[in-house]
Each structure stands twice: as structure tokens, then as C-alpha cells.
Structure 1
Amino acid sequence: MGKVLVTGGAGYIGSHVVKALGEKGYDIIVYDNLSTGNQWAVLYGELVIGDILDLIMMRKVFINNKIDVVIHLAACIIAPESVEQPLKYYMNNVCGTLNLLQVMAETKVNKFIFSSTAAVYGIPQEIPVTENSAIAPISPYGQSKAIIEKIINDIAKAADLQYITLRCFNVAGADLYGRIGEGKPQSTHLITSCVRTALNPISCLNVYGNDYPTTDGTGIRDYIHVDDLASAFTMSLQYLLDGGKSLVCNCGYGRGYSVLEVMEATKKLTGVNINVAFKERRLGDPPILIADSQKLKQSLNWQPRYNDLHCIIESALRWEQKIMKNGNFIVKC
């Protein structure tokens, strides 16, 4: 086969997807503007620094390479930020993806794997959430992903496009060998924030909302280890190469943990008391999000390997201990 193009492949999830593809011997081109990604995180393939909003640059990449499959992970992904900066999210996520799909059509690349989000469900009426649950996003971030999903579906009806949309729930953890992990100094991922707070005695963990209709008042999420999510992408790739039909699948474990439960698990693992600052709820945050991933398991034979909160936190801790040698990440109250 030709090459696999991974947009956003220098980012947190993208770099783990690239690692998984590289370990399986795929020929990879990583396309990333490095706005939130890092060059050091790209362990395999060729890195091309470019933006999905740069149609001319993307066209050159496709023309100069025989690309068979596109895995699209380049996106702005912070729901509360999207409420404050909706134009940024619609411009980058929607317009950038349209550019990508246009170049794919021009160069007759017809296999596409899209990284979507549980945020498309908004505040779900049923838990766990299935792929048939109502699409009702409550943030511009979720809305941008829902719009892209609709665009992909419409194109597939009109043209030869096989696709898999993976609706990712809360991604956490790091490479088990400590090679790569979360690389942003100001992470919005809860488990990363918990670990960084535990490693910095003068810092504190901001908890946004303790009055949700949950057992302890804090939001509940389905946390999936980043390597398990990466395996869903590699299995999706092989599925499409084998002639599989288009799919939309949830990616999660089907078990939720509250913010305070994650905090207590981190405290138990590290032996450090975590300072907490309770804040008002953030716009765009639903109370509970838990996945039903039976479709992913049945369609792709995907089986999670790291479905354990302790394992997820431990891998994140190991990574943060490594990178703290080069600088501290401090979350101030």
C-alpha cells in the first residue's frame, strides 16, 4: 500500500496513533502545525509542518505522495474555550476538514478515519451513550465535530468514500514505556492535571462544578487509555483496507469515574494529598458521559488492554515524572 497521512500526528492522541502505526510497519506522513503538538513526539514517519487551513500546502503533500488512507486528528478540542472562541473552532475544525476532504477528492483518496468526540452527544438522555443516541452538542466544539460528521456522511452518499468515525470519550494516560505523553504545559485533561498537582506541593487542582446531579456532585467521565484508543485507530485502518463498510463507533470503556474519584485514586497511588479549589461549572460540560462501545468491539474485534484507572494514572505519573526533569507544570489556584 501507499502512505498513511495522519493530520495532527504530533499531538497527544495523534502521536500515540503514529506510534501504534509505526510499530505495525505502516509508511506514515505526519501533517501538523505544531501549535499544540511537538516534534519530539513523532516517533515514526515523516513530519511535514503545515496547517489544515493551508489548502495549497496540503495539496502539495497529496500530489507528492501516494496516500491511501487519511487519519484526521487535527482539531481544536477544548469545549469551554470553544464557548468563548466559537469562530476559532468553526474555522479550524470545519473549514480545515473541508480543505482536507477537497484535496482527498481531487487526488482520489477514498479512505478516511475521523477523530470525533463524545461532545456531539451534549447532555445525553441515556447512559451509557450508544451511537444511536441523539446528536445534541452543547458547545461549539461538539457542534463543529457534529457538522463534520454530517459532511462526511453526505460526501459518502454522493461519492466513493469509505470512512470510520471514532467518537472518543475522555482520553488519558501515556505510553507505557514513557516515550511520549501529554505535552502541553496547560493541560485540560483531568488525570494529567491530578498527577501534576500531586507532583507540585504548591499547586492545586481546579474542580469545575461540585453541584452536578451525581453521587459526589462532580462530573463523571469514561476515561480510556490513549494506547487503547490508538489501537482503535489502527484496527479501523486495517478494517478499511480490507474493504470494510463505513462505521461510526464510540471509544470508551463503559465505566465512569467522578472528578473526586480520580483525585482520590491519584492520591492513593502517589501518597500525596491533592489541594483542591472548587470553581463554578464551565459552559459546555455535561454532568455524565459514559460510552457504550459494543459496536467497536463487535465490528473491529477491539478489546481494551488497559481498562484500569490505576494503570491509566500510573502511566501518566511515570510520564510526568520524566518530563518534570526539564521543567515544572504548576496549576495555580
Structure 2
Amino acid sequence: MRILVIGGAGYIGSHVVRAFLDAGYRVTVFDNLSTGTRDNLFGEAEFVHGDIMQSARLAGIMADGYDGCVHLAALKAAGQSMLHPEQYAEANLVGTINILNAAAAVSLGAVIFSSSAAVFGSPQYLPIDETHPKEPENFYGFTKLEIERLLAWYDRLKGMKYAAIRYFNAAGYDVAGRICGLERNPENLLPVVMEVAAGIRPQLAVFGDDYPTRDGSCIRDYVHVSDLATAHVSAFEYIRDQGESLSVNLGSEQGISVLEMLERARIITGRPIPAIVTGRREGDPSELVASSKKARDLLDWKPLFSDADTLISSTWRVYQEKYLQ
């Protein structure tokens, strides 16, 4: 079967491509390489350079014949989305409409969408399950929720089945070492910690140590990117076999605090990793943890690599190869 992975040269996208290739699928990557990298492309997968804003080009690619597509192309910095909503509206909303229209024109069987825990906003209870109120607190989260609503309408009106996979905190790298492309200008905790360990940044800023958590720092649910990737394959196969759309949360269900991640990273890397405590960031909830029960029940999914040590060691290997060889 053939799968089109839009955004397949990016950090998460390359792991998704690898998972489909490992499962025996024929894969084509469609990417504009604005944030993705050629280092993340595989010889077994076809590569097409293109942009989701090019509706005619998208239509031509879709017409080549695919059984499904994975949509990972988006702007994703929550803070930037509040400063430049027009950019996020165009890239995330208009770009997705272009994808859906091209897919609908060829009656594509399934769209697997990279959604986000940002659709929920601040937690009203923990762990966060799929029925949790969806009240995004930044424009990025708003675009993800609106895309989920678009998908539901295209399912209702066009019969296009979809899976909305809501990531919590993606981290780690392929444990077999087959993916080595680093994210550009990372903002998430673990790659920033690795940049400090590798000497690229002078220190880590810990945003607050006075939260009502076990050590005062924020707690987040980190899920290994390879665990996320296998869920995309399972979601496609669920749609193929059951003919139903679905929305699922994906997390490890085990929260790790900022200070816990920092301390484990110091031990695993053998580096001091200087850090300073600064003020809280506006809008940072003290704790975010997912319930992944629905994914377990429907997709038989479980995280295999999402413990802190594997997250850190698999990431550190890539940074060592890039900066310390």
C-alpha cells in the first residue's frame, strides 16, 4: 500500500516515515524543507519537494494514487502564534484546506492528522482524556482544533475518514540510530538541555520552581517520537480495517518534571548542564499528563521507549554525533 507523508522530512515526520517503511508500506515524502532536512530522508522513500500552499501541485501528487496520507506540515510555536496569527492561519488552516480538497478530489481513503494537546488548554482534570473540554489558550492550539473540526465535516460530507492524533510532548530519537537530522531552533525542553550539554547554549532556563508539584518545577508527559510514529501506522490500519474515524490522545501517562529531566540528563551525558531558575512563563500549567486508554483500546498501542533514560540517551547520541565527534 502507498502512503503520502506531508512534512515527512521533519523531526516527527521522519520517524513516521520510518515506521511506515518498517511496516512494509511504500512511502512518498512531500516537504518544502523549511524546517525539515534532507538528512531525514530515506533512500527507500520517494521524495517530492513541494509546499502545501501550492494547491495545484498537491492535487497532482494526490492524483498519483495513494491509500492514505499523513499530514504533519504546520507552524508549531505556540508563542509565535500569538504574535503572528496571520502566518499560522495561512500555513495551518489554508494549507490544510488545500490538502483536504486535493484528497477529496481523488477520494483518498484516510488522512492521519498530527494534532496536539494544545487543543485542550489548561487542564480541568488529570489525566487528560479525549472528552476533556477543548479550550485552546493560544492560536496554534486553535488552528489544530479547527482542523479537527474540518476533518469531521469532510468525513460527514465527503466520506473521508481520518485520525486526529493528539501529541503531548514528543521527544527522543530513533533508538536504532537511523535518524540524525536535528530540529532547527528548538524550543522544547529536551533538545534545549542537549544543546547546553553539547556546549551550544551556555545554560538552561528553568521557568519557575514554585509550582505545586513534587519538586516545584512543571511536569509534562513525554512520549518517545518512535512510539508516536507507530501509532500513525496503527491509526491508518484501524481506518482501513474498521472504516471509522477516530481521535486519540498519545502520552506515556507518566509525568516527568523539568528538574527530574535535567538531573537524569546530567547523569546520562556526564555533563554539568548549567541551569538557572527564572520566573514562570505566562500560561504554563503546573502539570500536563495524558490518558492514552483510548489508544490502547482501539489501536493496541503502548509506549515502548518513553521512559526518561531512553528519551535522553537516544537524543544525546544524535547530539554527540553532530557536535562532539
**Per-residue deviation, 1:239:** 1.5
Superposed CA RMSD: 1.7
DSSP-derived class of the 1:232 partner: helix
DSSP-derived class of the 1:6 partner: strand
Paired amino acid for 2:311: I
State how far apart, in whole Å, the 2-side matches of 1:94 and 1:293 are. Answer: 27
CA contact (8 A) 1:12 1:181 kept: no
**Per-residue deviation, 1:139:** 0.7
Paired amino acid for 2:175: L
* 1:74-85 paired onto structure 2 within 5 Å: 74-85=73-84
Q: Aligned in 2, Cα 1:85/1:182: closer, same or farther, shift over 3 Å?
A: farther
Q: What is the match of residue 216 of structure 1? A: 215
Q: Deviations over 1:36-90 (max 9, x none)?
A: 0011201131111111111111111112x11110111111111112122221111
State how far apart, in whole Å, the 2-side matches of 1:54 and 1:212 are. Answer: 45
* 1:96-175 paired onto structure 2 within 5 Å: 96-175=95-174
Q: Deviations over 1:245-287 (max 9, x none)?
A: 1111001111111111111111121232221133444445433
Q: What is the match of residue 270 of structure 1? A: 269
Matched, 1:8 2:7: yes
Paired amino acid for 2:57: M
**Per-residue deviation, 1:298:** 0.6
Q: What is the match of residue 62 of structure 1? A: 62
Paired amino acid for 1:4: I
**Per-residue deviation, 1:206:** 2.2
Q: What is the match of residue 250 of structure 2? A: 251
State how far apart, in whole Å, the 2-side matches of 1:23 and 1:319 are. Answer: 21
Matched, 1:47 2:42: no
**Per-residue deviation, 1:194:** 1.1
* 1:319-330 paired onto structure 2 within 5 Å: 319-325=318-324
Q: Aligned in 2, Cα 1:304/1:225: closer, same or farther, shift over 3 Å?
A: same
Paired amino acid for 2:54: D
More moved, 133-142 vs 261-270? 261-270
DSSP-derived class of the 1:289 partner: coil
Paired amino acid for 1:41: N
CA contact (8 A) 1:178 1:322 kept: no
State how far apart, in whole Å, the 2-side matches of 1:38 and 1:293 are. Answer: 31
CA contact (8 A) 2:173 2:179 kept: yes
**Per-residue deviation, 1:201:** 8.1
State how far apart, in whole Å, the 2-side matches of 1:5 and 1:253 are. Answer: 27
State how far apart, in whole Å, the 2-side matches of 1:37 and 1:223 are. Answer: 22
Q: Aligned in 2, Cα 1:172/1:132: closer, same or farther, shift over 3 Å?
A: same
**Per-residue deviation, 1:172:** 0.5
> What is the TM-score when the length of structure 2 is the normalising length?
0.95
Q: What is the match of residue 235 of structure 1? A: 234
Q: Aligned in 2, Cα 1:67/1:254: closer, same or farther, shift over 3 Å?
A: same
State how far apart, in whole Å, the 1-side matches of 2:55 and 2:248 are. Answer: 29
Q: Deviations over 1:106-157 (max 9, x none)?
A: 1111311111000111101011100000001111111110110111112212
> What is the TM-score when the length of structure 1 is the normalising length?
0.92
5+ residue gaps in structure 2?
Answer: none
DSSP-derived class of the 2:128 partner: coil
CA contact (8 A) 1:83 1:283 kept: no
CA contact (8 A) 1:83 1:284 kept: no
Q: Percent identity?
A: 39
**Per-residue deviation, 1:177:** 2.2
DSSP-derived class of the 1:114 partner: strand
**Per-residue deviation, 1:294:** 0.5
Paired amino acid for 1:287: S
CA contact (8 A) 2:211 2:218 kept: yes
DSSP-derived class of the 1:222 partner: strand
Q: What is the match of residue 289 of structure 2? A: 290
Paired amino acid for 2:95: G
More moved, 65-74 vs 77-86? 77-86
CA contact (8 A) 2:168 2:290 kept: yes
5+ residue gaps in structure 1?
Answer: 327-333
**Per-residue deviation, 1:211:** 4.0
